[in-house]
Amino acid sequence: MSSNGDGAEQRVADPLLSAVTDLLEQPLTGLSDDKVTQLLRDVERSGRMLAALTNRLTVEVVERHIPARAGAHGPKGFLMETLRLSSQEAGRRIAAAHCLGTWRDMSGETHEPRHPRTAAALADGDISADHANRIAAILKRVPGSTADPEFEAAEEVLAEHARTGSPDDIAKVGDAILAYLDPYGKLTDDQDRKRMRGIMIGRQRADGMSPLRGELTPTLRALLDPVVAKLARPGMNNPDDPESPSGDCEYVDREAMVAAAARDTRTAAQRNHDALVALLQPGMSADKLGAHRGLPVSTILTMSIADVERAAGVATTATGGTVPLTEALQLAEQSQPFLAVFDHNGLPLHFGRAKRLATAAQRMALIASVRGCTRPGCDAPASLCATHHVTDWIKGGPTDIGNETLACDHCHALVHDGPGGWKTIVLGPDSQHPGRTAWIAPPHIDSTRTPQINHRHHPSELLAEAMARIHHRDEQQRQQHRHRLKQLQRPDSHAA
């Protein structure tokens, strides 16, 4: 603090408080829509940067033993009393400071944050405290210590993904990273899954309802997901809508299907319930489920040759799930195999046709390579996606595999030339991800109109890239260390 000459002391945060006060008093009605949107972005960014400052202050409070001198019951109690925080929020801030703060030991030596890239992203204002909390929850499950290259790579991928994604993306990306880091089932093996499996139907209550809970194995989930994707599609099997399509909805008039979906007010849980009712109706069987988005309702598994050869890893499903390779191979014994060949960028080789609609084989290739909706931040799996022409058919875009991608119904409708419309392009050979579909957001989302790709369905690729960078860095450091040792061991040419 410093004196301002009239006896009053100026606090360190006075300029910040003054600026916020001015903003609160500033009228907003005279601002244009663009300026309101930009102000919203700036305020959010400032709040995130202040969260990083809060972590620094929490570290100071702990290292200076301020709670003890204040008579508080530990750092958590001090924050609760001083800032009037709930016990949960105070505990969250202490945990965040331990993960994202720079600490000093007894000798005064500083130690980098446990999650350095997450801390940097928060300080830059690119991610929120919610992002950081969810990243920390995933990293707790990563095998090994924070000094391991795998841990460092996982934290790097999660932090960099969070800079452009929603906090809701973190768990999905984290699960894929854990599956990649734990191909041999060290975290959860087949015996654990067998032990945990089960479905419990509770006692029927007086109102006629029965509770249902359980744990599904990856195999049951892989078998059930495509059925639910078909029968629980918005507009399908709606008991409150007499015109709701049922059965093979692929042959229902498209406009009728869209209208039924618009009338559908059920929650996802209610649609799942009604889907099971439809599945268990007398006379219903798997061969009567028809097709879903051009393919038979069936479990589609994609696995790499490398994983098959080492008998480890996971297969991915068209519904966004994973199945341990051993279980996937057992399912594959009774399946119809398809061979798809991909280039070194993970994209299918040329596969075209002269008509507007993609073939079933093209869609299979997209499921294997793209895996889900390509709009950044969207987690819709391939089973919920339509085949999208990157360059539209009416604008001369061919129905070739190089001009096709996957987009869920919601994101597909966002691509248009009107206000607020998104654009899609194919990245060129000189880009970091050649051949991938990139989306260009409207100005109110990204004023720079920078093409972005969706990493949510391909986190293992990012992890492999991060691991390669870390191993390259470590090898350079080892070479520099060996060079310094040789320099020290070399006789002094100036010695007498």
- Give whole-number Cα distances, 280 to 179, 201, 225, in Å: 33, 16, 15
**φ and ψ at residue 362, rounded to 5 degrees:** -65, -40
- C-alpha torsion sign, points 477, 478, 479, 484: positive
Give me the torsion for CA of 36, 37, 40, 42, rounded to 10°: -100
Give the tens place of pLDDT for each residue, 215-253.
Answer: 888 778 877 877 787 788 888 889 889 888 876 555 556
Which pLDDT score, from 0 to 100, does residue 90 have? 95
CA geometry: angle 84, 87, 93, nearest 5 deg = 85
Is residue 316 within 8 Å of residue 371, measured between CB atoms? yes
What number of residues does the chain have? 496
Q: How many CB atoms lie within 10 A of CB 390?
A: 20
Coil vs helix vs strand at 358: coil
CA nearest to 369, candidates 351, 386, 390, 348? 348
For strands 2-3 and 198-201, give the pairing.
Answer: unpaired
Q: What angle do CA 196, 135, 467 make, to 5 degrees?
A: 95
Q: Do residues 454 and 424 lie in contact, with contact meaning Cβ atoms separated by under 8 Å?
A: no
- pTM for the predicted model, two decimal places: 0.59
Q: CB under 8 Å to 463, separation ≥6 — which residues?
A: 153, 154, 157, 177, 180, 181
- Domain extent listing, the chain: 32-181, 217-335, 338-454
DSSP secondary structure letters along 434-449: TT-EEEE--TTT-TT-
Residue 357's pLDDT is what?
A: 53
Q: Give the 3-state secondary structure of residue 233.
A: coil
Half-sphere exposure of 215 (CA within 13 A, CB side): 7
Amino acid at 195: R
Check residue 26 and report its DSSP letter: S
Q: Nearest 5 degrees, angle CA 95-CA 97-CA 99? A: 70
Letter for the amino acid at 294? G
* Residue-wise DSSP of 154-173: HHHHHHHHHTTS-HHHHHHH
Q: What is the largest CA-CA distance in the chain?
A: 103
Q: Helix %, strand %, coil % for the chain, to 5?
A: 50, 10, 40
Alpha carbons 415 and 392: distance in angstroms, whole number: 10
* 3-class secondary-structure state, position 296: strand
Which residues face 405 on adjacent strands?
388
User: Number of helices and strands (H, E) in the chain?
Assistant: 18, 17
pLDDT at 212: 87
Torsion angle, alpha carbons of 469, 474, 480, 482, to 10? -140
Mean pLDDT by 10 residues, the chain (496 residues): 57 91 92 91 95 96 93 93 94 95 89 94 96 93 75 89 86 78 60 77 84 83 79 86 74 73 90 85 63 59 66 67 71 58 50 50 76 86 82 72 82 88 88 86 87 80 71 74 71 51
pLDDT in tens, 446-457: 888 899 888 877
What is the pLDDT, as a whole number, of residue 229?
Answer: 79
- Residue 18 CB-density burial (10 A; 0-12 exposed, 13-18 middle, 19+ buried): exposed
Residue 356: its pLDDT value, please? 47
